[in-house]
C-alpha cells in the first residue's frame, strides 16, 4: 500500500470508530443515540462518549508516535514507549498518591490537588530523568536501554512493596496498570490534542535524522546529522508523549510497540510517513479496544489494556504467520 492510501484508510477508520464510539456505551450498541431528543441522552453523548472516544484515540496516537520514535531512535524493533522506565515511574507515582489519600488529611488534600494524572505524569518524567542520569546522558544507546531496564525494575518493585503494605490501593493500582479509558473527559482531550500536535510536528521535523540513523550511527554522523541534538529532542518527544498518555489512561499495553510494526508491514516509507501513520494506527487501535471494552460485557467494562494486547498482538501474529507461509511480503 502507498503511504497516502494508508493515510486515507486510517483517517476514514478514525472517523468511523469515533462514530461507533458515541453509539456504544453502558447499554451496548444504540443506533438511535444520535437523534434522541432526550437531554439526558444528549448529555451522555456529548459529555461522556464523545470526549471519551476522542481521548482514547488521542492517547493511542501518542503511544503509537512514541513507539515509532523509540524504535527509530534506538534502532531496535522491540523498543516501546515504556523503554526508558516511565511506566514504572508513573505506577510508583500513582501508588504514592493513593497511599497519601489514606494518610493524614493534609496529605490527602495535597494528593487530591495533584490528582492521579498529575502524580502519574510526574512519576513518568522523574523515572525518565533518572534513566538519563544513570546512563550519564544520551550518548550511548546501550547504556540508555540498560538504565531504562534497571529503573523499570527498581521502581516497579517499589510499587509492589507499597501495594503489599497498603492492600486497599490494590484495586485502584490494578486498574491503572491495565489501562483505563473510562474517565477521559473534554479536559483530557484538550490536553492530549495539543501535546499530540506538538510532539508529532517535532518528531516529523527530526525524521530525516531518523532516516539517516537507520544506516547506523557512524554513517548518520558522517552524513552531517547532529546526533546529540537529535537524541535530546527525540527523547523529549518520547517523554512528553508517553508521560501525557500514561497520565490520562494508565499503562495501556502494546499499542506503542505494535503500531509502528503494523505500519511497516503494510507500507514502506520514510520516517516522515512512518511517524504520522504510526500515530494514526495507535489511535485507531486504542479507540477500537476502548469500544470493545465498554461494549462486550456492558454495563461492565473490560480493562482496555487487555484488549489492546489481544487486538494488536493477534494482528501482529497473523501478519508474521502470513509472511512466513506466503514467502513474500
Q: Residue numbers of the site for other proteins (CB under 8 A)?
A: 25-27, 40, 43-44, 47-49, 51-52, 98, 101-102, 108, 112, 115, 164, 167-168, 171-172, 175, 180, 182-186, 294, 298-301, 303
Residue whose CB is less far from other proteins, 5 or 43: 43
Q: Which of 51, 90, 293, 96 shows the shortest CA–CA distance to 191? A: 51
For the record, the C-alpha cell of 209 comes out as 535524522
Angle between helices 105-134 and 227-249 (to 10 degrees): 150
Cis bond before residue 129 (omega within 30° of 0) = no
Question: CB 261 → other proteins: shortest distance, Å?
Answer: 30
Q: Which of 232, 237, 255, 247 shows the shortest CA–CA distance to 196? A: 237
Residue whose CB is less far from other proteins, 300 or 325: 300
Residue whose CB is less far from other proteins, 66 or 184: 184
Question: CB 247 → other proteins: shortest distance, Å?
Answer: 14
Q: How far apart are CA 264 and CA 112, in angstroms?
A: 42
For the record, the C-alpha cell of 61 comes out as 496516537
Residue whose CB is less far from other proteins, 81 or 303: 303
Residue whose CB is less far from other proteins, 153 or 165: 165
Cis bond before residue 16 (omega within 30° of 0) = no
Residue whose CB is less far from other proteins, 98 or 192: 98
The secondary structure of 197-242 as a DSSP string is HHHHHHHHHTHHHHHHHTT-HHHHHHTT--HHHHHHHHHHHHHHHH
Tell me the residue length of the chain: 329
Question: CB 199 → other proteins: shortest distance, Å?
Answer: 25
Q: Which of 302, 309, 316, 320 shows the shortest CA–CA distance to 254? A: 309
Question: CB 52 → other proteins: shortest distance, Å?
Answer: 7
Q: How far apart are CA 11 and CA 300, in angstroms?
A: 29
Residue whose CB is less far from other proteins, 55 or 282: 55
Question: CB 48 → other proteins: shortest distance, Å?
Answer: 4
Question: CB 183 → other proteins: shortest distance, Å?
Answer: 6
Question: CB 33 → other proteins: shortest distance, Å?
Answer: 12
Question: CB 289 → other proteins: shortest distance, Å?
Answer: 14
The rounded radius of gyration (Å) of the Cα atoms in the chain is 20
Q: CB count, 10 Å around CB of 37?
A: 6
Q: How far apart are CA 97 and CA 93, in angstroms?
A: 6
Residue whose CB is less far from other proteins, 139 or 168: 168
Give Cβ neighbours of residue 155 (< 8 Å, ≥ 6 apart).
Answer: 85, 88, 89, 91, 92, 127
Question: CB 288 → other proteins: shortest distance, Å?
Answer: 17
Residue whose CB is less far from other proteins, 49 or 231: 49
For the record, the C-alpha cell of 223 comes out as 552524513
Amino acid at each position: 500500500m502507498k503511504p497516502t492510501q494508508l493515510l486515507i484508510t486510517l483517517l476514514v477508520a478514525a472517523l468511523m470508530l469515533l462514530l461507533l464510539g458515541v453509539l456504544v456505551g453502558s447499554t451496548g450498541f444504540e443506533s438511535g443515540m444520535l437523534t434522541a431528543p432526550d437531554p439526558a441522552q444528549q448529555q451522555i453523548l456529548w459529555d461522556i462518549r464523545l470526549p471519551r472516544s476522542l481521548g482514547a484515540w488521542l492517547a493511542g496516537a501518542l503511544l503509537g508516535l512514541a513507539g515509532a520514535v523509540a524504535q527509530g531512535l534506538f534502532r531496535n524493533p522491540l523498543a516501546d514507549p515504556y523503554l526508558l522506565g516511565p511506566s514504572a515511574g508513573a505506577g510508583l507515582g500513582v501508588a504514592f498518591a493513593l497511599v497519601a489519600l489514606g494518610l493524614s488529611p493534609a496529605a490527602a488534600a495535597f494528593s487530591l490537588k495533584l490528582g492521579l494524572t498529575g502524580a502519574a505524569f510526574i512519576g513518568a518524567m522523574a523515572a525518565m530523568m533518572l534513566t538519563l542520569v544513570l546512563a550519564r546522558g544520551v550518548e550511548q544507546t546501550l547504556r540508555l536501554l540498560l538504565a531504562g531496564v534497571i529503573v523499570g525494575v527498581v521502581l516497579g518493585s517499589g510499587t509492589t512493596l507499597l501495594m503489599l503494605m497498603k492492600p486497599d490501593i490494590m484495586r485502584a493500582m490494578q486498574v491503572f496498570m491495565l489501562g483505563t479509558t473510562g474517565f477521559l473527559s473534554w479536559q483530557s482531550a484538550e490536553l492530549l490534542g495539543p501535546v499530540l500536535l506538538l510532539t508529532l510536528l517535532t518528531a516529523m521535523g527530526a525524521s530525516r535524522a531518523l532516516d539517516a540513523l537507520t544506516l547506523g550511527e557512524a554513517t548518520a554522523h558522517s552524513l552531517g546529522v547532529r546526533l546529540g541534538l537529535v537524541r535530546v529532542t527525540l527523547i523529549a518527544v518520547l517523554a512528553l508523549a508517553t508521560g501525557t498518555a500514561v497520565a490520562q489512561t494508565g499503562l495501556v499495553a502494546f499499542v506503542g510497540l505494535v503500531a509502528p510494526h503494523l505500519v511497516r508491514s503494510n507500507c514502506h516509507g520514510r520516517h516522515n510517513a512512518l511517524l504520522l501513520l504510526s500515530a494514526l494506527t495507535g489511535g485507531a487501535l486504542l479507540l477500537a479496544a476502548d469500544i470493545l471494552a465498554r461494549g462486550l460485557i456492558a454495563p461492565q467494562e473490560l480493562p482496555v489494556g487487555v484488549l489492546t494486547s489481544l487486538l494488536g498482538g493477534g494482528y501482529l501474529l497473523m501478519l508474521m504467520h502470513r509472511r512466513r507461509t506466503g514467502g513474500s511480503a
